[in-house]
A = this chain, B = another copy of it.
Amino acid sequence: MPLRADAARNRESLLAAAITEFAEQGMDAPIAAIARRAGLGKGTVFRHFPTKDDLVGAIVLDRIARLTAAGERLSTAADAGAALLEFMTTAAQERERLDLSVLQGDLGAEVAAAQTRMSAVIDALVDRAREQGAVRADITGADVMLLMCVPNDVVKHLPSGAPDLWRRYLAILFDGLRPEGAHPLPVPPPS
Prevailing SS type, chain A contact patch: helix
Report the minimum CB–CB distance from A180 to chain B (whole Å): 3
* B187 with A164: CB separation less than 8 A: yes
Q: Answer yes or no: A49 CB below 8 A from chain B CBs.
A: no
Separation of A159 and B190 alpha carbons in the complex (Å): 11
Binding stretch for chain B, among A39-47, A114-122, A148-156: A148-156
Would you give the 0/1 interface string for A169-189, flagging 1 where the beta carbon is closer than 8 Å to chain B? 101111111111111011111
Q: Answer yes or no: A4 CB below 8 A from chain B CBs.
A: no
Q: Answer yes or no: A70 CB below 8 A from chain B CBs.
A: no
- Which chain B residues lie closer than 8 Å to A158 at the CB level? 104, 146, 190
Report the minimum CB–CB distance from A82 to chain B (whole Å): 12
Closest to A103 in B: B157
Separation of A162 and B146 alpha carbons in the complex (Å): 14
Report the minimum CB–CB distance from A91 to chain B (whole Å): 14
* B153 with A172: CB separation less than 8 A: no
Closest to A176 in B: B176
- Which chain B residues lie closer than 8 Å to A179 at the CB level? 181
Q: Answer yes or no: A167 CB below 8 A from chain B CBs.
A: yes
* B167 with A187: CB separation less than 8 A: yes
* A175 with B183: CB separation less than 8 A: yes
Can you pick out 14 interface pairs between chain A and chain B where the beta carbons lie within 8 Å of each other? A101-B156, A104-B157, A139-B172, A143-B168, A147-B154, A165-B187, A168-B185, A171-B183, A171-B185, A171-B186, A172-B176, A175-B176, A175-B183, A176-B177
- Which chain B residues lie closer than 8 Å to A77 at the CB level? none
* A169 with B146: CB separation less than 8 A: yes
Q: Answer yes or no: A29 CB below 8 A from chain B CBs.
A: no
Contact among B157, B174, B185 with A176 in the assembled complex (CB-CB below 8 Å): B174
